[in-house]
Amino acid sequence: MENNSIQNILESLNYFTPELALMLTFFVLLLVDLFFRKSKYLLPAISLVGFIVSGYLLVYTPDVKGFLFSTGMTNIGLYVIDPFSFFFKILILLAMIYTILFSLSSKEINEAGGNRGEYYVLLSSFALGMFLLTSTIDLLLMYLSFELVSLSSYILAGFTRNVKRSAEASLKYIIFGAVASGAMLYGISILYGLTGTTNLYLINFYLSNQNIESLPLVIAGLLIIGGIGFKISMAPFHFWTPDVYEGAPITITAVLSVASKAAGFALLIRSLKIMFIDYTATNLQSSAWAILSQFKWNELIAGLAVLTMTLGNLAALWQSNLKRMLAYSSIAHAGYMLTGFVILDNQGIMAILIYFFIYLFMNLGAFFVVMLIADKLGSEEMEDYTGLGYKAPFLGVSLTIFLISLTGIPPTAGFVAKLYLFGALIKAKWIWLAVIGVLNSVISLYYYLKVVKNMFLRESEIEYSHNLGHGNLLITLSLLIPTLLFGIYFKPIIEFAEQSVRIFGF
């Protein structure tokens, strides 16, 4: 038996290479940082190589494989490789690579001096944690990887030393995060108490064959959703978001708003879908929440989605700090994506995937431009952006396009994202939700336009000139072109998302 399980683990490692590559990156960075502290480009270069290698291995991982790390005791393991996790891993890697590239020209990071080593080390552990989150099918592994992601991001959020708001952000993040993961752990323990297993598939098996009281199940579900909801800044667990996003270095804000949210969504979709879906039902759409039929989950989540987007948008209206505004807007976007989760059929999940993929480009783009301008201008206040569009035309136009895309106006990619989301909602007869989403888009238009207005419609006397290096120009273009291109030609994303809705076992 023992030999068997060891063999099994060794075999599983073949499928685990992308994660191993990230681990290796983590340790190499740690060691290199000890000896070559002064070098500016070495650490980012190593991280980039690590991420790219991991991506390469990811693409060439042999096929779908369920249940990695299973041992003789139970045949169902801890980890799966499926198209669904592949999609999110690609997304996370892209976001991480962009973050590293952003960091190269970020003033905040470069001025951090001696601590820069830890920054890159933690980014790689952050990526590793998110990778694990997207593929885990075991509650214990889920909790541990959740903690890895959280710990790394707490420290990263407070990374810039001497900046008071950064320290405050970090502390707030830790306190909220500790409560959230505590809640999640509590939910996990209730589930374990009910079923005696931590494996999602076994939980599902047990739940669908035994008569379980609904109350503990509902409470457990709520606690787990709450814990994950914290990560994706779902209302009413969103309070940390604006402070942390504003206080953290902008590169970290960018990655938190995209990658960590993506991992949270992947976890949310996978865990709830596997645990609570009745496999025997023929029509998946109507029976998505079959096991918890006593409680109207989809309506609860629809309510939370509405709350999330409306709160996010309304709060964003009053912001004068651009970074804080983007933080609130990212709460709103989480709300839009949650509406896709309400449906939980393939259409809904596909809509979320498409949304994320597009959101990656437009949101990172917006943050990058804001970062470049903030480094030069020393401010993220909207007032200081007055007339900037004429002094730095390329950045101004790029930011405008990113913001228009975030609003969802054609012919930008953001429109396609919203189109698929609302399309899925209408198809599933959630028309009121689609209408609320639409109205929210109108609200969001106002605050996005406020930035555009300050940049182009008002003139100012401030001296400002921006000499964009070739590198930054390329990075901006690499985000800008997809944002425009996918607005007109979006077949590839749709196909990618279509293939990626397959969760192992479905």
Minimum separation from the CB atom of position 212 to another protein (A): 8
3-state secondary structure 366-410: HHHHHHHHHHHHCCCEHHHHCCHHHHCHHHHHHHHHHHHHHHCCC
Element (H, E) at 66: strand 65-68
Structure tokens at 299: 């309506």
Nearer to another protein (CB atom), residue 152 or residue 330: 152
Nearer to another protein (CB atom), residue 69 or residue 355: 69
Q: Going residue by residue from 372 to 391, which x/- string records binding to another protein, judged by CB under 8 A?
A: ------------------x-
Q: Is 178 in the site for another protein (CB under 8 A)?
A: no
Is residue 371 within 8 Å of 106, Cβ to Cβ? yes
Restricted to residues 215-254, the positions that interact with another protein (CB under 8 A) are 215-216, 219
Q: Which one of residues 35, 60, 63, 73 is an interface residue with another protein (CB under 8 A)?
A: 73
Q: Is 128 in the site for another protein (CB under 8 A)?
A: yes
Binding piece for another protein, criterion CB under 8 A, among 52-60, 247-255, 305-313, 414-422: 414-422
Structure tokens at 83: 């198209």
Nearer to another protein (CB atom), residue 144 or residue 377: 144
Is residue 387 within 8 Å of 459, Cβ to Cβ? yes
User: Alpha-carbon dihedral of residues 53, 59, 61, 66, nearest 10 degrees?
Assistant: 120
Nearer to another protein (CB atom), residue 197 or residue 478: 197
Minimum separation from the CB atom of position 3 to another protein (A): 10
User: Alpha-carbon dihedral of residues 472, 477, 483, 488, nearest 10 degrees?
Assistant: 180
Rg (CA), the chain: 22
Rounded Cα distance, 76 and 94, in Å: 31
Q: What's the number of CA atoms in the CB half-sphere (13 Å) around residue 117?
A: 14
Binding piece for another protein, criterion CB under 8 A, among 47-55, 119-127, 283-291, 298-306: 119-127
Rounded Cα distance, 208 and 290, in Å: 9
The amino acid sitting at 285 is Q
Q: Is 284 in the site for another protein (CB under 8 A)?
A: no
Q: Which one of residues 168, 375, 381, 498 is an interface residue with another protein (CB under 8 A)?
A: 498
Nearer to another protein (CB atom), residue 432 or residue 471: 432
Nearer to another protein (CB atom), residue 105 or residue 145: 145
Q: Which one of residues 404, 406, 413, 479 is an interface residue with another protein (CB under 8 A)?
A: 404
Q: Which one of residues 441, 472, 476, 500 is an interface residue with another protein (CB under 8 A)?
A: 441
Q: What are the C-alpha distances in Å from 371 to residues 250, 293, 392?
A: 6, 47, 14
Paired sense of beta strands 65-68 and 79-81, if any: antiparallel
Restricted to residues 307-366, the positions that interact with another protein (CB under 8 A) are none
Minimum separation from the CB atom of position 48 to another protein (A): 20
Binding piece for another protein, criterion CB under 8 A, among 90-98, 231-239, 274-282, 444-452: 444-452
Q: Is 23 in the site for another protein (CB under 8 A)?
A: yes
Is residue 298 within 8 Å of 321, Cβ to Cβ? no
What phi, psi does 88 have (nearest 5°)? Answer: -70, -30
Structure tokens at 184: 């999640």
Is residue 353 within 8 Å of 497, Cβ to Cβ? yes
If binding means CB under 8 A, how many residues of this protein chain bind another protein?
A: 75
Q: Which one of residues 64, 118, 202, 290 is an interface residue with another protein (CB under 8 A)?
A: 118
Beta-bridged to residue 65, according to DSSP, are 81
Q: Which one of residues 39, 61, 71, 460 is an interface residue with another protein (CB under 8 A)?
A: 71
Nearer to another protein (CB atom), residue 88 or residue 422: 422
Q: Is 442 in the site for another protein (CB under 8 A)?
A: yes
The 3-state DSSP class for residue 154 equals: helix
Q: Is 176 in the site for another protein (CB under 8 A)?
A: no
Q: Is 213 in the site for another protein (CB under 8 A)?
A: yes
Q: Is 195 in the site for another protein (CB under 8 A)?
A: yes
Nearer to another protein (CB atom), residue 193 or residue 471: 193
Q: What is the DSSP letter of 458?
A: S
Give the CA angle between residues 468, 470, 473 to the nearest 5°: 65
Is residue 220 within 8 Å of 191, Cβ to Cβ? yes
Structure tokens at 108: 């905040």
Q: Which one of residues 15, 51, 67, 69 is an interface residue with another protein (CB under 8 A)?
A: 69
Q: Is 28 in the site for another protein (CB under 8 A)?
A: no
What phi, psi does 79 have (nearest 5°)? Answer: -150, 140
Beta-bridged to residue 134, according to DSSP, are none
Nearer to another protein (CB atom), residue 344 or residue 493: 493
The amino acid sitting at 502 is R
Q: Which one of residues 122, 127, 392, 417 is an interface residue with another protein (CB under 8 A)?
A: 122
Q: Going residue by residue from 134 to 173, which x/- string records binding to another protein, judged by CB under 8 A?
A: ------xx--xx-xx--xx-xx--xx-xx-----------
Nearer to another protein (CB atom), residue 185 or residue 494: 494
Binding piece for another protein, criterion CB under 8 A, among 39-47, 120-128, 233-241, 313-321: 120-128
Restricted to residues 415-434, the positions that interact with another protein (CB under 8 A) are 415, 419, 422-423, 426-427, 431, 434
Is residue 335 within 8 Å of 378, Cβ to Cβ? no
Q: Which one of residues 341, 385, 490, 504 is an interface residue with another protein (CB under 8 A)?
A: 490
Q: Is 179 in the site for another protein (CB under 8 A)?
A: no
Rounded Cα distance, 212 and 100, in Å: 48
